[in-house]
Amino acid sequence: MIGLVTGANRGLGYEMIKEGLRRGHTMLAACRNTGDETSVGGLLKLKEQYPGSLRILEMDVTDREMTEKAALQVQQEFGHIDFLVNNAGVLFEKMVMPGDAIADLDVEKFRKTLDVNVTGTAIVLKYFIRLLYASEDACIMNITSEAGHLSPQGYNYLAYSVSKHAANMYTQKVRNYLAEEQADRHMRIYMIHPGRMDTIMGKENAQIPPSESAAGLYDILDRKKQIPDMDVPFINYRGEPMPY
Ligand SMILES: NC(=O)c1ccc[n+]([C@@H]2O[C@H](COP(=O)([O-])OP(=O)(O)OC[C@H]3O[C@@H](n4cnc5c(N)ncnc54)[C@H](OP(=O)(O)O)[C@@H]3O)[C@@H](O)[C@H]2O)c1
């Protein structure tokens, strides 16, 4: 299969590329800054290890033109993709928030969080959906978070939680559209909590290495782990249903 992963230079994105190559897939690694060797160093090493199976693409998910250009490149080179992992994400907040959560809101960071975590996901899908339609067995994984579910307790990670709830809603709308208007394509789509991973973003609460999450996600992608049809396909990396 041919798979595209956004935010592929580190964290879960990088592990998804590495595990995908190990399992024999052709991987397209979309990164914000391909010119920065320290940022994409791990991917360059993988390219040496798996010549011909890894393509690195420049793609800031908030940049429409760049994303459209990348999709055009993939269209010309491969004609389709079989899976898309919308993984790129940002978290600018800490577990404990100083000051008044409402009055001291950092508006710019709030905006940027929604821009990457929600609008970015929609932009990527806008330009890559036709490449997924061209696959015979397509799957979309939107990496959201347990932080996205409504809960009567807690106000930490405010902007991030808002963005992940919105990303779940976006995924649900896409799922409903596919079910109602594109049912004959049999596309799978999931919103996924990848676990509390030991990455730059997740180190405050880490419970698992990102490689464990990546292995779980490929078991779902490769149908080693069967997921029943769900009205609201919000699951964790082990394929278990998540509360929303
Ligand atoms: N870690 C956790 O415990 C945890 C828990 C729940 C959900 N998640 C979700 O899992 C996903 C991966 O998280 P992670 O822990 O691997 O995070 P990470 O280590 O911070 O990596 C985030 C990735 O997203 C990329 N990115 C950020 N903004 C981008 C943009 N505008 N365009 C393209 N790429 C961009 C980063 O690229 P640069 O290197 O260029 O910044 C980096 O590759 C995220 O969606 C996150 O919200 C993580």
Mutate to test the pocket of ligand 1, among 12, 65, 112, 198 (most ligand atoms within 8 A of CB): 12
How would you write the pLDDT of the chain (244 residues) with one tens digit per residue? 999 999 999 999 999 999 999 999 999 999 999 999 999 999 999 999 999 999 999 999 999 999 999 999 999 999 999 999 999 999 999 998 889 999 999 999 999 999 999 999 999 999 999 999 999 999 999 999 999 999 999 999 999 999 999 999 999 999 999 999 999 999 999 999 999 999 999 999 999 999 999 999 999 999 999 999 999 999 999 999 999 9
Strand partners, 234: 191
Ligand 1 centre distance from Cα of residue 200 (Å) = 8
Q: Work out which ligand 1 atom sits closest to the CA atom of 13.
A: 16
**Ligand 1 pocket check for 200: Cβ under 6 Å:** yes
Please state the pTM of the whole predicted model: 0.98
Neighbours of 100 (CB within 10 A): 8
Closest Cα to atom 17, ligand 1: which residue? 201
Q: Is the CB of 148 under 6 A from ligand 1?
A: no
Q: What is the pLDDT of residue 154?
A: 94
Which residues, in sequence order, are CB contacts of 142 under 8 Å at separation 6+? 86, 121, 167, 168, 170, 171, 189, 190, 191, 192
Superfamily of domain 2-236: NAD(P)-binding Rossmann-like Domain (3.40.50.720)
Strand order in the sheet with 234-236: 54-58, 26-31, 2-6, 83-86, 139-143, 188-193, 234-236
Query: Which amino acid belongs to residue 85?
Result: V
Q: Which distant-in-sequence residues (6+ apart) come within 8 Å of 57 by Cβ?
A: 4, 28, 29, 30, 31, 34, 70, 73, 74
Q: Output the pLDDT for position 98.
A: 86
Q: Do residues 222 and 24 lie in contact, with contact meaning Cβ atoms separated by under 8 Å?
A: no
Classify burial at 229, counting beta carbons within 10 Å of its beta carbon; exposed 0-12, middle 13-18, buried 19 or more.
exposed
Ligand 1 lined by 7 (C-beta under 6 Å): yes
Closest Cα to atom 37 of ligand 1? 7
Whose CA is closest to atom 19 on ligand 1?
11
